[in-house]
Homo-oligomer: A and B are copies of this chain.
Amino acid sequence: MSNLNQALEYAAQNREKLLQEYKEFLAIPSISTLPENRGDVYRAAQWLVSELTRLGMARVDLIETPLHPLVYAEWLGAPGKPTALIYGHYDVQPVDPLHEWHSDPFDPEIRGENIYARGASDMKGGLMAWLKAVEAVRSTGDLPINLKFILEGAEEIGSQHLPEFLENNRDLLKADFVINLDGQIHAPGKPSITYSLRGLAYFEIEVHGPKQDLHSGLFGGSILNPAQALCELIAGMHDADGRVTLPGFYDSVRPLNAEEREMLAHNPQTDAQWLEMCGAPGLWGEKGYTTVERTGARPTLEVNGIVGGFIGEGAKTVLPAKASAKISMRLVADQDAAAIKGQLEEYLRQNAPDTITWSLHEHSHGPSAIMDTHSPQMQATVKAMTDTFGVEPFFRRDGGSVPVVGMMQQTLGIDTIMIGFGLPDDCIHGPNEKQHLPTLLNGLNTCIRMIDYLGDI
């Protein structure tokens, strides 16, 4: 397009405005998992509707679902040019433990080069980069590609109403490729593109013992404590080599071949850096794999939460009636996310003693994804990133799950480009989530260039 330099100049001139609007968006506590924040999630959707309207999209819809609304927008004024479907989410994770935050998670605070707020990195920052790129291009000329937006408010809780919407709106969402804004890069000076994501299956196990909490002195030793039983079940879910023991768990895992292990070995992330970022006493994981492989190319099982009995201050001599755990698995190609529940049920059937009862609830599941690194849109993205950062991005696998990538592939039949400008140490989902501002501004310029280069494919 003729106006690339003017658009980049517009972005440079309007940084303060971008920052103000970003802060405004971050201040909305759009926590999708908490019923008390439902109104805030709705407010975030309305904020996007007015922003997209202001950007001159030809159509902007706020679409109700049984839970949180979807926002759809389109501008199709470039006939014959590619159509990009922009996917993003405007919901965020809960903020607990709140006392570990150094500033209010919904009162964004800039300290040094970072802005601290829940959602700053995951992913209100990425959304802002793309919206402001559209603004920069539109303010200085015409869009050289067609745009559709589908933005959801339930990504952090499993996108449960999105699949049905995709199924029922294949024509509306017809596009040449998806741009998914939920990515990250490796480091401020080391851009990367994620070409593989892990799937997710998230469960809650409840173990029941006595009909109600009992006195642990009077009854202790005569019936099995459900918290002990739950611990034994969880302990048995890994073997001594750090492998998950659910029956059939690894059966369909696509093995890493030598070529891909070689490519992954080029990831500049060192174990020492990783350990420093975690702040744990040491690394751990499945025997026979590197840390990069363990987090990107191998499936895992984690306890996300566990609770049972008396958890207040002090001591209570109780034998609890029940104990429960939230447990989730990260999955890789070609594991079937829907099949994991059966494997977990089978494990519980085989291992739970008959002196307790158990129940299993699936919160959500989503597929893993692998993307084509050689497509023209991927190559346009590589060029936009290279021209912005001054260095070519490397390809990497990500440990997190972006189930919508697999969903788009399965339902709409189109591939995704993952972009994003968060960093691995942004503490997404944890306390003190941050976004590195110089990287976000590079992200804005990358998005402006992408719009340009994608118009040429």
Q: Convert A83-122 into 0s and 1s, putting 1 for each residue whose CB lies closer than 8 angstroms to a CB of B.
A: 0000000000110110010000000000000000000000
Which residues does chain B contribute within 8 Å of A230, judged by CB atoms?
231, 306
- For A, the interface residue count at a CB cutoff of 8 angstroms equals 101
* CB-CB under 8 A for A303 and B225, given A34-B313, A217-B200, A280-B210: yes
User: Once the chains bind, are A313 and B33 in contact (CB under 8 Å)?
Assistant: yes
A295 contact from B93, B220, B427, Cβ within 8 A: B220
Known interface pairs A33-B313, A356-B281; A302-B225 also in contact (CB < 8 Å): yes
**Which of B213, B236, B323, B357 has a CB less than 8 Å from the CB of A431?**
B213
Give A155 Cβ to nearest chain B Cβ, in Å: 11
User: A306-B323, A314-B34, A326-B315 in contact; A278/B219 too (CB < 8 A)?
Assistant: yes
**Does A312 reach chain B (CB closer than 8 Å)?**
yes
* 1/0 contact string of A211-232 vs chain B (CB within 8 Å): 1111111111111110110111
Complex: chain B residue closest to A215, CB-CB: B429
Contact in complex: B227, A312 (CB < 8 Å): no
B-contact 0/1 string along A283-324, CB 8 Å cutoff: 111100001001100111011111111111111111110010
Set B211, B285, B295: member contacting A280, Cβ < 8 A:
B211
**Are B157 and A295 in contact, CB atoms less than 8 angstroms apart?**
no
A202 interface contact, C-beta 8 A: yes
Q: Is the CB of A355 within 8 A of B222?
A: no
Give chain B residues whose Cβ lies under 8 Å from the Cβ of A357: 281
Q: Is A328 an interface residue (CB 8 A)?
A: yes
Q: Does A198 contact B (CB under 8 A)?
A: yes
User: If the complex has contacts A212-B430, A318-B304, are A284 and B222 also in contact, measured as CB distance less than 8 A?
Assistant: yes
- Shortest CB distance A429–B (Å): 4
Chain A 181-223: CB-based contact to B (< 8 A → 1; otherwise 0): 0000000000000000010101000001111111111111111
Q: Which residue of B lies closest to A230 (CB)?
A: B231
Which residues in B have their C-beta under 8 angstroms from that of A234? 227-228, 231-232, 235
Bound form: Cα–Cα A304–B319 in Å: 6
Task: Tell me if A220 and B302 are in contact (CB < 8 A).
Answer: yes
A424 and B218 within 8 A (CB): yes
A228 & B238 in contact (Cβ 8 Å cutoff): yes
Whether A221 lies near B282 (C-beta < 8 A) is no
Residues from chain B with a CB closer than 8 A to the CB of A247 are none
A39: B residues at CB distance < 8 A: none
| CB–CB B400/A223 < 8 A | no
Given A215-B430, A295-B218, A308-B303, the answer on whether A355 and B401 have CB atoms closer than 8 Å is no
Residue ID in chain B nearest A211 by CB atoms:
B279
A274: Cβ under 8 A from any B Cβ: yes
**Interface: A80 (CB within 8 A):** no
B residues less than 8 Å from A279 (CB atoms)? 210-212
Q: Is there contact, CB below 8 Å, between B316 and A307? A: no
Pairwise interchain contact B225-A33, C-beta atoms closer than 8 A = no
Write out, one digit per residue, whether chain A residues 398-409 have a CB within 8 A of any chain B CB (1) or not (0): 111100000000
Whether A363 is near chain B, meaning CB under 8 Å from some CB there, is: yes
> A231 to chain B: which residues have CB within 8 Å?
230-232, 234-235, 303, 306
> Closest CB of chain B to A401's CB: distance in Å?
5
Q: How far is the CB of A346 from chain B (nearest CB, A)?
A: 20
**In the complex, what distance in Å separates the CA atom of A306 from the CA atom of B318?**
12
**A158 at interface by CB-CB < 8 Å:** yes
Q: Residues of B contacting A96 with CB < 8 Å?
A: 310, 312
A338 to B15, CA, bound (A): 65
Which residues 317-346 of A have a CB within 8 angstroms of B?
317-320, 323, 325-326, 328, 330
Inter-chain contact A400/B311, CB cutoff 8 Å:
no
B305 touches A33 (CB 8 A): no
Closest partner residue, chain B, to A289 (CB atom): B221
- A353→B231 CA distance, assembly (Å): 16
A interface residues with partner B (beta carbon < 8 Å):
33-35, 93-94, 96-97, 100, 156-158, 198, 200, 202, 208-225, 227-228, 230-232, 234-238, 274-275, 278-286, 291, 294-295, 298-300, 302-320, 323, 325-326, 328, 330, 353-357, 363-364, 398-401, 424, 427-432
**Which 6 A-B pairs have CB atoms at the shortest separation, nearest pair first?**
A211-B279, A217-B400, A305-B309, A221-B300, A235-B235, A33-B314
7 contacts between A and B (CB under 8 A): A158-B315, A202-B315, A212-B279, A216-B429, A219-B399, A228-B237, A280-B355
